[in-house]
Structure 1
Amino acid sequence: MHLSYCTNVHPAEDLAGIIDQLDTYALPIRHRLDADVLGLGLWLAAPAAAGLADSPEDRRRLRRELDARGLEVVTLNGFPYEAFQAPVVKLGVYYPDWTSRERLDYTLRLARILTDLMPDTASYGSVSSLPIAWRTPWDGSRAAAAFGHLDELARGLARIESETGRKVRVGFEPEPGCLIENTTQAAALLAGVDTERLGVCLDLAHLAVAWEDPAQALDRLRTAGVPVVKVQVSAALQADDPLAAVDVLRAYVEPRFMHQTRSQAGEATDDLDAALDRKLDGPWRVHYHVPLHAEPSAPLTSTVPVLRSALRELLASSDCEHYDVETYTWGVLPSEQRPEDAAGLADGIAAELAFAHNLLASAGAPDPASAFSSQAVNR
C-alpha cells in the first residue's frame, strides 16, 4: 500500500518550480512526520509533462531529486491539464476532455514519465483522469471520439509496458456534474474497456456528495468488472440544516473552483452559490474538499464518517494499492482556516497525512509503504 498527498495544491507548472516545491513543502512535511519516505501524488501540468516526456535526462534528474529527499511517486494526478491554481478555474478544469486528442496525448506522456519515477518495488503506477467529460454538450459523435481515445489509451499503455516492463493503469474519477458522476454511471460506461489497464479513481469526497453508500458502490463496480486503481482520500463539506447555516456557507463561496451541491433528496446545482440562491432543502453535501483532520466552521460538518466507512470496505474487498490525500482547496478556505504561509500549509498537509494514516490503520490496513512514525491525530 502507498499513501501520498497530491501536489495539485501547489501552482508550479515547470520542472524548476516542481523541484522548488519539493524543498518548500514535501521535505518539511516528511520531517514533520518523521518519515523515512513520503509519498507524493505528483501533478504535472501539460507543459511540464511535455518537456519531461521529451527529455530522458530531465526525467532522470527529477527521479534523482525525489530520491535525494526521500520522496516516492507511484501515482500522478492527470485530471487538471494546466493552471489548476489560477484565480478562476471552474469549468475549465474539465477541458480538454476525452473527446480531444490533447487529453489522450497528455495522459500517455504522464504514463511514460511515471515508469521512470516510480520505485522498482511498486507493482504498478496509476494516473487519475477526468470522468470522460462534463455532462454537456454530449452526443453520439462526442461519445465515439471519447471511447475511441480510450481504446487508443489502452493500446498505448500496453505498448509502454512492453517497452519498459512497468505497468501503468489509468483511473477515471467520477465527479458531480460530469458524464460519469457516480459508480452507477462508471459501471455502465466503463464495463467494456480494457479493465486490465483502465478503471476508476474513487474520490471519497465525490462518493459522499453523490450520496452513495460505499458498500453498494464497491459492489456495483465489482459486479461490472471495473477495478478501483486509485483512491483519493478526501472529505466534502456537509450542511445538515443549510438554511440555518447560510452565513457560514457563504464564506465557502469563492471564485476559483466548482462546488457542486447535492441534497439528500436528489436536488442538484453546479455551484454552492446557486444552491444558496435556490434554498434547496437539506441536508446538503458540497463538492468542497475540506481538511481531513479539522472540522469545518460550525454548524457545518464534513463527510469523514463516509470516508471511514469507504476505507473499511475498500480494505476488505479491493486490491487497490494507491491512496492519495487530495485537499487542493487550502488556498480558498475561509480566511480563519487558511494557512498564512508555506510553513502553515506544510503543517496542515502533515496533519492530514497523519490523520489518513491513522484512518487506514484503524480500518485494518497494513502499514503503507510510505509509512511514518507520527503521533495519532484525533478527531
Structure 2
Amino acid sequence: MLLSYCTNVHPAEDLDAILRQLDSHAVAVREKLGEDRLGVGLWLAATVAEGLAEDAGARRRFAAELEARGLAVQTLNAFPYGGFHDSVVKHSVYRPRWTDPRRLKYTVDCVAVLADLLPANAEYGSISTLPLGWREPWTAADDAVAEAAFDEVTRVLGETHARQGRLVKLAVEPEPGCVLDTMADAVDWLARRVDPRHVGVCLDTCHLAVSFADPRRTVARVAEAGLEVVKVQASSALHIESPDTEAARAALAEFAEPRYLHQVRELLPDGRVLACDDLPQALAELPAIGPWRVHFHVPLHAAPQPPLTSTTDVLAESLAAVAEHAGPRRPHVEVETYTWNVLPERHRQDLADGIADELRWARKVSS
C-alpha cells in the first residue's frame, strides 16, 4: 500500500507553481523520511487538469518531472475545483456541483491525467470527488442530472480501462452539510445509481468522526451495499468533551478562522446529533450540553492542547475496519491535513517537518 499526502495543502494553481511547491516540500518530506519514493495525492485545479488532459506531451513531461523527484501518484483529490487558498473559501469549495457540466468536465480531465501519471506497477488509481454539492438547494431534478453525470464519467472510466489497461476509480467523499452528509447517505445514494466496478466511496475519517458514526458499522455497511472503500483520507477532527466551560470556548475560538467552513456536531445525551454549519455559529447557538466535534483537520501526530483533543481513535478504528473488509484491492490512504496554514500559531510547525511526522504516524497506525 502506497501512503500519500495530499498536495491541496499547497497554494499552487499552475504547473510551475505546483513543481515549486513539490520541490520545496514533497522532496524535503521524502528526504526527511529517508525514502527513495514518496506518494503524493495531487490536487490539480481545474485549469491545470484541463491543460494536461488536452496535451499528451505535457502529461509525459509532468510524469517525468514527478519521477525525477522521486514522487509517485496513485490518487488525485478532485474535490476543490479551484481557489482553494483564497482568503475566503467557505461554501465555494462545493461549487461547481455535480449538476454543473463543469464538474463532469473537470472529473473527466482528471481521469485522463491520472491514467498517464500512474506508475507502471500501480494496481489502480483513485479520484476523490465532492458529495454532489451543498445540501441547499437540491431537488429531485438535481438528483437526475447528477445521476446522468455519474453515468457519463463511468463510461469514460470504463473506456479508459479498456483502451489503456489503467483502472481508475471515482470515490465519492461525504461531508457534513452536503447533499451526502454522512457515509450512510453516500451508501444509500450510490448503491442505487452507480456501477461499483468504477465508483465507490472515499472515507474521510475527520468527516466520519464529526458525524459521530461508528467506524466499524459504517465500513461494514459499505461492504454490505456492494460498494468499495476506494480511498481513505486519513484526517482527524477536533473533539471537546465539555464545550460549556470558559476554557473550552476560548480554545475553540482560536480555531474559528475565516478561510474554511468548520462544521460542528453536538451529541446530545439522548443520542440525537445537533448541527451547525460553522464554528462561530456553533459557539453562539449550540446548547453545549454534550461533546462537540469540529470539522477542522488537525495534525495526526500532535494532539491539540487541552482541553481540546482529536479523533485519531476514529481514524485508527476506521483503518482497521477497512483492512478487515478490503477485497482484492487495498484502498489508497492519503493524509489530508490541508489546514496547516490556518492553524492557531501555537499549533503550527515547519510544514515539511509536520507532513513527515504525520506520515510516520499514519504508517505506524495503518501497518
Q: Does 1:346 align with 2:349?
A: no
Contact 1:98 1:132 (8 Å CA) reproduced:
yes
TM-score normalized with structure 2 length: 0.96
CA distance in 2, matches of 1:227, 1:321: 9
Which AA in structure 2 matches 1:188?
D
Letter in 2 for 1:220: R
Q: 5+ residue gaps in structure 2?
A: none
- Asked if 2 retains the 8 angstrom alpha-carbon contact of 1:267 and 1:280, the reply is no
Partner of 1:329: 339
Question: 2-side partners of 1:292 and 1:267: how far apart?
Answer: 26
C-alpha separation between the residues in 1 aligned to 2:226 and 2:175?
20
Cross-structure match for 1:33:
33
Corresponding residue number in structure 1 for 2:318: 310
- Which digits, 9 at most, give the CA deviation of each residue in 1:239-280, with x for residues without a partner? 101122001100000111010000112010000111100143
Please give the alpha-carbon distance, in whole angstroms, between the structure 2 residues aligned to 1:157 and 1:227: 16
What whole-Å deviation, never above 9, does each CA across 1:46-92 have from its counterpart, x for those lacking one?
01111111111111111111111111000000000001011100000
Is 2:299 aligned against 1:299? Answer: no
Q: Distance in 1 between matches of 2:230 and 2:300?
A: 22
Aligned to 2:254: 251
* Aligned-residue identity in percent: 49
Asked if 1:268 is matched to 2:263, the reply is no
Q: What is the Cα deviation at residue 224 of structure 1?
A: 1.1
The match for 1:369 is: none
Determine whether 1:90 maps to 2:90.
yes
Alignment-derived partner of residue 160 in structure 2: 160
Q: Which residue of 1 aligns with 2:240?
A: 239
Q: Deviations over 1:274-307 (max 9, x none)?
A: 1100143220000000000001121100001111
* 1:112-127 equivalent positions in 2, closer than 5 A: 112-127=112-127
SS of the equivalent of 1:243 reads coil
Aligned partner of residue 212 in structure 2, secondary structure:
coil
Alignment of 1:177-192 (within 5 A): 177-192=177-192
Moved more, 274-283 or 18-27: 274-283
Tell me by how many angstroms 1:8 deviates: 0.1
Amino acid paired to 1:155:
R
Is 1:277 matched up with 2:284? yes
Instruction: Tell me how far apart the structure 2 counterparts of residues 329 and 183 of structure 1 sit (CA, whole Å).
Output: 22
SS at match of 1:120: coil
CA contact (8 A) 1:232 1:325 kept: yes
SS of the residue corresponding to residue 262 of structure 1 reads strand
Q: CA deviation at 1:316?
A: 1.5
- Aligned residues of 1:2 and 1:321 also touching (Cα < 8 A): no
The residue aligned with 2:70 is 70
Which stretch of the first structure deviates more once superposed, 86-95 or 183-192? 183-192
The match for 2:211 is 210
Q: Partners in 2 of 1:224 and 1:183 — Cα distance?
A: 12
Shift of 1:141: 1.3
1:375 alignment partner in structure 2: none
Measured after TM superposition, the shift of residue 7 of structure 1 is 0.1
Amino acid at match of 2:13: E
C-alpha separation in 2, matches of 1:289 and 1:128:
17
> In 2, Cα distance between the equivalents of 1:264 and 1:313?
23
Is 186-195 or 91-100 further displaced after alignment?
186-195
Shift of 1:227: 1.0
SS of corresponding position for 1:121: coil
TM-superposed CA distance for 1:338, in Å, is 2.6
- CA distance in 2 between counterparts of 1:251 and 1:297 reads 11
* 1: CA distance, partners of 2:160 / 2:106: 14
Q: Secondary structure of the residue that 1:62 maps to in structure 2?
A: helix
SS in 1 for 2:295: strand
Three-state SS of the structure 2 residue aligned to 1:276 is helix
Task: State the AA in 2 paired with 1:87.
Answer: S
Provide the rounded CA distance (Å) in 1 between the counterparts of 2:26 and 2:182.
Answer: 32
| Letter aligned with residue 312 of structure 1 | A
SS class of match (2:39): strand
| CA distance in structure 2 between the partners assigned to 1:35 and 1:274 by the alignment | 44
Which residue identity is paired with 2:276? Answer: T
* Matching of residue 18 in structure 1 with residue 18 in structure 2: yes
Cα RMSD after superposing both structures:
0.9
